[in-house]
Amino acid sequence: MRALRIPVRFGAAASAVAAGLLLTTPATPALAGTASANGPEGQTVTVSETTGLPAGGSTTVTVTGHGFDTGKGIYVAFCKDNGPGEAPSPCGGGADTTGSTGASHWISDDPPPYGKGLAEKYGADGSFEVTLSVTGALNDTVDCAETRCVVATRADHTRGQDRTQDVRVPLAFDEGGAPAVVWAGGAAAAVAAVAAGGVLVLRRRRNSPAEPTP
Protein backbone atom coordinates (compact mmCIF):
# COMPACT_ATOMS: atom_id res chain seq x y z
CA MET A 1 0.00 0.00 0.00
CA ARG A 2 1.49 3.33 -1.05
CA ALA A 3 1.45 6.42 1.14
CA LEU A 4 -0.50 9.30 -0.34
CA ARG A 5 1.46 12.58 -0.58
CA ILE A 6 -0.69 15.66 -1.04
CA PRO A 7 0.98 19.09 -1.41
CA VAL A 8 -0.46 21.72 0.94
CA ARG A 9 0.59 25.31 0.28
CA PHE A 10 -0.31 28.07 2.73
CA GLY A 11 2.94 29.99 2.25
CA ALA A 12 6.57 28.99 2.24
CA ALA A 13 7.81 30.95 5.27
CA ALA A 14 8.42 27.92 7.44
CA SER A 15 8.55 24.97 5.04
CA ALA A 16 11.73 23.72 6.72
CA VAL A 17 9.80 23.35 9.98
CA ALA A 18 7.14 21.30 8.20
CA ALA A 19 9.76 19.05 6.67
CA GLY A 20 11.09 18.20 10.11
CA LEU A 21 7.68 17.43 11.56
CA LEU A 22 6.17 15.19 8.91
CA LEU A 23 6.44 11.44 9.25
CA THR A 24 6.30 9.21 6.19
CA THR A 25 4.92 5.68 6.19
CA PRO A 26 6.25 2.68 4.26
CA ALA A 27 4.54 1.27 1.17
CA THR A 28 3.60 -1.84 3.14
CA PRO A 29 1.89 -1.40 6.54
CA ALA A 30 4.21 -2.11 9.45
CA LEU A 31 3.38 -5.43 11.04
CA ALA A 32 2.98 -5.38 14.78
CA GLY A 33 0.92 -6.71 17.61
CA THR A 34 2.30 -9.92 19.11
CA ALA A 35 -0.62 -11.50 20.95
CA SER A 36 -1.28 -14.51 23.16
CA ALA A 37 -4.31 -16.52 24.24
CA ASN A 38 -4.89 -19.20 26.85
CA GLY A 39 -6.71 -22.51 26.50
CA PRO A 40 -9.11 -24.35 28.83
CA GLU A 41 -6.31 -26.48 30.32
CA GLY A 42 -3.79 -23.68 30.82
CA GLN A 43 -2.21 -23.87 27.37
CA THR A 44 -0.75 -20.68 25.94
CA VAL A 45 -0.38 -19.80 22.25
CA THR A 46 1.51 -16.72 21.04
CA VAL A 47 1.50 -15.33 17.48
CA SER A 48 4.28 -12.99 16.38
CA GLU A 49 2.14 -10.63 14.22
CA THR A 50 -1.62 -10.20 14.55
CA THR A 51 -2.57 -6.65 13.44
CA GLY A 52 -2.15 -4.62 10.27
CA LEU A 53 -1.75 -7.77 8.19
CA PRO A 54 -2.03 -7.00 4.46
CA ALA A 55 -5.32 -8.30 3.08
CA GLY A 56 -3.90 -8.58 -0.41
CA GLY A 57 -0.82 -10.61 0.38
CA SER A 58 0.64 -13.42 2.44
CA THR A 59 2.39 -12.98 5.78
CA THR A 60 4.48 -15.60 7.54
CA VAL A 61 3.92 -15.57 11.30
CA THR A 62 5.66 -17.51 14.04
CA VAL A 63 3.40 -19.45 16.40
CA THR A 64 4.63 -20.76 19.73
CA GLY A 65 2.76 -22.74 22.33
CA HIS A 66 3.35 -24.45 25.65
CA GLY A 67 1.43 -26.33 28.30
CA PHE A 68 -0.25 -28.77 25.89
CA ASP A 69 -1.13 -32.36 26.79
CA THR A 70 1.48 -34.43 24.95
CA GLY A 71 -0.90 -37.40 24.98
CA LYS A 72 -3.15 -35.56 22.51
CA GLY A 73 -2.20 -34.59 18.97
CA ILE A 74 -3.15 -31.13 17.71
CA TYR A 75 -3.29 -29.09 14.54
CA VAL A 76 -1.90 -25.56 14.45
CA ALA A 77 -3.58 -23.68 11.63
CA PHE A 78 -5.07 -20.46 10.21
CA CYS A 79 -8.86 -20.84 10.55
CA LYS A 80 -12.26 -19.20 10.65
CA ASP A 81 -13.45 -18.70 14.22
CA ASN A 82 -16.90 -20.19 14.81
CA GLY A 83 -17.16 -19.09 18.43
CA PRO A 84 -16.77 -20.73 21.85
CA GLY A 85 -17.45 -24.45 21.96
CA GLU A 86 -17.24 -24.83 18.18
CA ALA A 87 -14.24 -26.17 16.30
CA PRO A 88 -12.35 -23.47 14.38
CA SER A 89 -13.09 -24.38 10.76
CA PRO A 90 -12.47 -24.29 7.85
CA CYS A 91 -8.71 -24.01 8.16
CA GLY A 92 -6.04 -23.28 5.60
CA GLY A 93 -4.71 -26.59 4.33
CA GLY A 94 -7.48 -28.56 6.03
CA ALA A 95 -6.36 -31.56 8.08
CA ASP A 96 -2.87 -31.74 6.66
CA THR A 97 -2.10 -35.39 7.40
CA THR A 98 0.30 -35.60 4.45
CA GLY A 99 2.54 -32.66 5.34
CA SER A 100 2.26 -31.39 1.76
CA THR A 101 0.48 -28.03 2.07
CA GLY A 102 2.57 -26.21 4.67
CA ALA A 103 -0.60 -24.30 5.60
CA SER A 104 -1.04 -26.14 8.89
CA HIS A 105 1.07 -28.25 11.23
CA TRP A 106 0.27 -31.60 12.83
CA ILE A 107 1.89 -32.05 16.22
CA SER A 108 1.74 -35.42 17.95
CA ASP A 109 4.08 -37.58 20.00
CA ASP A 110 2.13 -40.74 19.13
CA PRO A 111 0.46 -40.42 15.72
CA PRO A 112 -1.15 -43.35 13.85
CA PRO A 113 1.26 -45.42 11.73
CA TYR A 114 0.62 -43.32 8.61
CA GLY A 115 1.60 -40.21 10.57
CA LYS A 116 5.08 -41.40 11.46
CA GLY A 117 7.54 -38.94 9.94
CA LEU A 118 4.75 -36.45 9.18
CA ALA A 119 3.60 -35.31 12.61
CA GLU A 120 6.01 -33.08 14.50
CA LYS A 121 6.79 -33.93 18.10
CA TYR A 122 6.13 -31.67 21.06
CA GLY A 123 9.02 -29.96 22.77
CA ALA A 124 9.56 -29.87 26.52
CA ASP A 125 6.46 -29.17 28.65
CA GLY A 126 4.07 -29.65 25.72
CA SER A 127 5.63 -26.86 23.67
CA PHE A 128 5.95 -26.19 19.95
CA GLU A 129 7.16 -23.52 17.53
CA VAL A 130 6.00 -23.39 13.90
CA THR A 131 5.47 -20.86 11.11
CA LEU A 132 2.22 -20.33 9.23
CA SER A 133 1.30 -18.36 6.12
CA VAL A 134 -1.80 -16.19 6.67
CA THR A 135 -3.72 -14.31 3.97
CA GLY A 136 -6.69 -11.96 3.81
CA ALA A 137 -8.80 -14.62 2.11
CA LEU A 138 -8.87 -17.98 3.87
CA ASN A 139 -10.53 -19.52 0.82
CA ASP A 140 -12.97 -18.54 -1.94
CA THR A 141 -15.81 -17.96 0.53
CA VAL A 142 -14.14 -16.70 3.74
CA ASP A 143 -12.87 -13.10 3.66
CA CYS A 144 -10.93 -12.49 6.86
CA ALA A 145 -11.45 -8.71 6.57
CA GLU A 146 -15.18 -9.37 7.08
CA THR A 147 -15.15 -12.58 9.14
CA ARG A 148 -13.21 -13.27 12.32
CA CYS A 149 -10.17 -15.41 11.50
CA VAL A 150 -7.68 -16.79 13.97
CA VAL A 151 -4.51 -18.75 14.40
CA ALA A 152 -5.85 -21.76 16.24
CA THR A 153 -4.91 -25.02 17.86
CA ARG A 154 -7.40 -27.88 17.95
CA ALA A 155 -7.31 -31.61 18.62
CA ASP A 156 -6.22 -33.59 15.58
CA HIS A 157 -8.49 -35.88 13.55
CA THR A 158 -8.05 -38.75 16.00
CA ARG A 159 -9.97 -36.72 18.63
CA GLY A 160 -12.12 -34.52 16.42
CA GLN A 161 -14.76 -33.78 19.07
CA ASP A 162 -12.28 -32.86 21.80
CA ARG A 163 -12.48 -29.11 22.42
CA THR A 164 -9.97 -29.06 25.29
CA GLN A 165 -7.12 -28.25 22.91
CA ASP A 166 -8.84 -25.25 21.28
CA VAL A 167 -6.90 -21.99 21.61
CA ARG A 168 -7.63 -19.00 19.34
CA VAL A 169 -5.55 -15.88 18.65
CA PRO A 170 -7.53 -13.32 16.53
CA LEU A 171 -5.97 -11.67 13.48
CA ALA A 172 -6.72 -8.21 12.01
CA PHE A 173 -6.24 -7.55 8.30
CA ASP A 174 -5.74 -4.13 6.67
CA GLU A 175 -8.36 -3.75 3.93
CA GLY A 176 -7.93 0.00 3.50
CA GLY A 177 -10.34 2.50 5.01
CA ALA A 178 -10.36 6.23 5.65
CA PRO A 179 -6.97 7.94 5.20
CA ALA A 180 -5.26 9.04 8.40
CA VAL A 181 -2.72 11.85 8.61
CA VAL A 182 0.52 10.81 10.29
CA TRP A 183 2.53 13.48 12.10
CA ALA A 184 5.73 13.13 14.11
CA GLY A 185 4.64 15.60 16.77
CA GLY A 186 0.90 14.99 17.20
CA ALA A 187 -1.87 17.53 16.63
CA ALA A 188 0.22 20.58 17.54
CA ALA A 189 2.87 19.60 15.02
CA ALA A 190 0.19 19.10 12.38
CA VAL A 191 -1.13 22.63 12.88
CA ALA A 192 2.37 24.11 12.69
CA ALA A 193 3.29 22.16 9.58
CA VAL A 194 0.12 22.95 7.66
CA ALA A 195 0.44 26.62 8.55
CA ALA A 196 3.99 26.57 7.23
CA GLY A 197 3.22 24.67 4.06
CA GLY A 198 4.25 21.09 3.55
CA VAL A 199 3.19 17.67 2.42
CA LEU A 200 0.45 15.62 4.00
CA VAL A 201 1.45 11.97 4.21
CA LEU A 202 -1.59 9.74 4.41
CA ARG A 203 -1.98 6.08 5.18
CA ARG A 204 -4.95 3.78 5.45
CA ARG A 205 -6.28 2.92 8.88
CA ARG A 206 -5.90 -0.61 10.18
CA ASN A 207 -8.99 -2.64 10.92
CA SER A 208 -9.61 -4.25 14.26
CA PRO A 209 -10.44 -7.97 14.23
CA ALA A 210 -13.85 -8.58 12.65
CA GLU A 211 -16.63 -9.88 14.86
CA PRO A 212 -17.87 -13.43 14.29
CA THR A 213 -20.58 -13.63 11.66
CA PRO A 214 -23.94 -15.23 12.54
The CATH number of residue 144's host domain is: 2.60.40.230
* Residue 83 forms part of a structural domain: yes
> Quick check: 138 and 149 in contact, CB under 8 A?
yes
pLDDT in tens, 44-84: 999 999 999 998 888 999 999 999 999 999 999 999 999 98
Nearest to 107 by CA among 126, 93, 122: 122
Provide φ and ψ at 156, rounded to 5°: -70, -175
What is the pLDDT at residue 175? 66
* Residue 210 forms part of a structural domain: no
Residue 130 has pLDDT above 50, yes or no: yes
Per-residue pLDDT band at 101 (split at 50, 70, 90): low
Measured distance CA(77)–CA(45) in Å, rounded: 12
* Residue 134 forms part of a structural domain: yes
* Residue 146 forms part of a structural domain: yes
* Residue 20 forms part of a structural domain: no
Kindly provide the residue ranges of all beta strands, DSSP E only, lying in the chain, ordered along the sequence.
Answer: 4-8, 35-38, 44-47, 53-54, 58-66, 74-80, 104-107, 128-135, 149-155, 167-170, 173-174, 179-181, 198-204
Pairing assessment for the beta strands 53-54 and 173-174 based on DSSP bridges: parallel
Domain count along the chain: 1
For 7, left (φ over 0), alpha (ψ -120 to 50), or beta?
beta
Per-residue pLDDT band at 140 (split at 50, 70, 90): confident
* Residue 152 forms part of a structural domain: yes
Q: How long a stretch of residues is the chain?
A: 214
pLDDT in tens, 7-19: 444 444 444 434 4
Per-residue pLDDT band at 203 (split at 50, 70, 90): very low
Residue 105 has pLDDT above 80, yes or no: yes
In this structure, the number of other CB atoms found within 10 A of the CB of residue 91 comes to 24
Q: What is the mean pLDDT of residues 75-97?
A: 84
* Residue 15 forms part of a structural domain: no
* Residue 28 forms part of a structural domain: no
What is the pLDDT at residue 94? 52
Measured distance CA(85)–CA(73) in Å, rounded: 19
Cβ partners under 8 Å of residue 193, min gap 6: 17, 18, 21, 22, 183
For 6, left (φ over 0), alpha (ψ -120 to 50), or beta?
beta
Measured distance CA(157)–CA(96) in Å, rounded: 10
What range does the domain containing 129 cover? 33-168
Q: What is the DSSP string of 131-188?
A: EEEEESBSSSS-BTTTS-EEEEEEE-GGGTT--TT-EEEE--EE---SEEE-BTTHHH
